[in-house]
Each structure stands twice: as structure tokens, then as C-alpha cells.
Amino acid sequence: MKIRIDTRSYEGTGTEILDQLRLTAFDPTEFPDAESYLWQLRSNFMRATDLDCPLPNGSLERQARAMFALLAKAGALEVLEDG
């Protein structure tokens, strides 16, 4: 998977991209893992858009991909390729 946020591109699995974003934007002690960051991202999305943000049951990877799809739909990022 490859996404672009503003002018920066991120590449890897959905979980790896979550980790890249988490480590770029936050002190690692604030969000100790990709899962905690995903739930913060989801919460911020709902507050900013006033939309529900359902994530599928299952793996963190499925949830990350669903989150990125919602962000892309809202225009917050561009999904460049799905691999």
C-alpha cells in the first residue's frame, strides 16, 4: 500500500504506515503502538467530520486499511496504489 499526505508518501502495509505516521508525529510514549494510534486517529476523524467511523472486526491490518479508505474518501489523503 502507498499513500500520500500533502507532499509526503508512505509505503508498506496498513499497519506499517500507521507506525510510520505515529513515529513521525508523536512521542512514542504517547501512543505506544499502532493500535493505540489507530483509535486516536479514528476519534479525531469522528470529531473533525462529525461522521461515524466504523472499523471492521479482525486484524489491525484490516482496520488500518479501512481507516485509510475513510480518510481518502474524506480527502485527507490519497491512496496511490494497493499492493
**Residue with grid cell 500520500, as numbered in its chain:** 4
* pLDDT band, very low/low/confident/very high, at 33 (cuts 50, 70, 90): very high
13 conformational bin, left if phi > 0, alpha if psi -120 to 50, beta if neither: beta
pLDDT at 18: 94
Residues contacting residue 81 through CB under 8 Å, at least 6 positions apart:
1, 2
Sequence-ordered strand ranges (E) for the chain: 2-5, 8-11, 78-81
* pLDDT band, very low/low/confident/very high, at 81 (cuts 50, 70, 90): low
What's the pTM value of the predicted model, to 2 decimals?
0.83
Q: Tell me the average pLDDT across 67-81.
A: 76
* pLDDT band, very low/low/confident/very high, at 74 (cuts 50, 70, 90): confident
Q: Three-state SS for 80? A: strand
Please state, in angstroms and as integers, the Cα–Cα distance from residue 15 to each residue in 35, 48, 59, 67, following that order: 8, 23, 10, 11
pLDDT one-digit tens code per residue, 51-65: 889 999 999 999 999
